[in-house]
Amino acid sequence: RTLGELALRIAHARALYRPLGEGGPPAIAQLLEREGALGATARIRVTSADPTDERASCLRAWGDAYRAQGGRIDLTDPERTFRVVSGTGGGSTYVLLEQLRVVDRKALHARRPGSQAFRQPVTLSSRLARTLVNLAEAPVGGTLLDPFCGTGAIPREAGLLGHPVFVSDRSAKMLRGTLRNLAVAGITPELAGVADVSELPGLLGDRPRVSALVTDPPYGRASSTGGEGWRDLLSRLYTLVPAIVGAEGTCVMLLPLPDPDLPLPTGWRGRSLGLAERVHASLSRYVYRLEGPHHLPAPGRANVSAGLPGRAL
């Protein structure tokens, strides 16, 4: 179940794999023989564009190794799928992976900006919006707020992952567009309002703090700040963050530079999580995260930035 949930959340990968071992062709054969002893049907894949790739010539021997202890090969409906990829040592070293789940990339593609009911040039890709939501590390069922919701790409991904969402924007037209896009996705926000960021406390009233604020603020390029410098706008948001987000929470933002270098709310930490995308020669977007005084990163997530698309793995 956990793997299924993880595969559902993933934004950029094609599948989840478990590494079973690494080595030259004989070592891979040994690993496959051991797996074959479990008796399941399997398919072994060695996708490569190069017809002279050594792996293609090993495939028969690897299949034989899998069958040696009772395993069976089934190319159409196997119980297990293995993949042999290049190893970290280069040359003739390979890694044997077992595919655990395939990510439903078609569904993400179906929500691309061009196919939305209400779209604007500022609309984020569903992949990037989902990445931002994931990087917030909000607990299951935790509420997410996007106070610059625009066309609603972030709250839509959050809602589809099961988070209750609060949305606001100072533009009534944008808020209406968000509500339209959320309705198409079957999401009803728990709270929606036209508000400048400074009006957020009034909009939220006495509701409990949210788990995370995830947003894509305007920088005065594709989307207007009303003449205000984007760093001033961000400073106004920063002063409100502790009152809006719990101490365990986070505030994840997409910014035009790695670190806005602004004074942080008391007790909060700021972390640059890396390059998200290069929009054009003079604009790249980076992910920056504010972490509450009690925020503990999820285990095994020492380098969350490694999952971002613009960063080499």
Interaction with ligand SAM in 136-155: which residues (CB under 6 A)?
A: 147-148, 150-151, 153-154
Choose between 158 and 273: whose C-beta lies nearer to ligand SAM: 158
Pick from 135, 76, 99: nearest CA to 15: 99
Q: Which of 170, 285, 289, 295 binds ligand SAM (CB under 6 A)?
A: 170
Q: Are 154 and 215 in contact (CB under 8 A)?
A: yes
Tokens of 69: 């202890």
CB of 148 to ligand SAM, least distance (A): 3
Site string for ligand SAM, 60-99 (x = CB under 6 A): ----------------------------------------
CB of 231 to ligand SAM, least distance (A): 13
* Residue 284 binds ligand SAM, judged by CB under 6 A: no
Q: How far is the CB of 97 from ligand SAM (least distance, A)?
A: 34
Task: Provide the token pair at 97.
Answer: 């992976």
174-193 residues near ligand SAM, rule: CB under 6 A: 174
**For ligand SAM, which residue of 223, 272, 284, 305 counts as binding (CB under 6 A)?**
223
- In the set 17, 225, 274, 288, which binds ligand SAM (CB under 6 A)? 225
Per CB under 6 A, 126 contacts ligand SAM: no
Interacting residues with ligand SAM (CB under 6 A): 122-124, 147-148, 150-151, 153-154, 169-171, 174, 196-197, 216, 218, 223, 225-226, 233
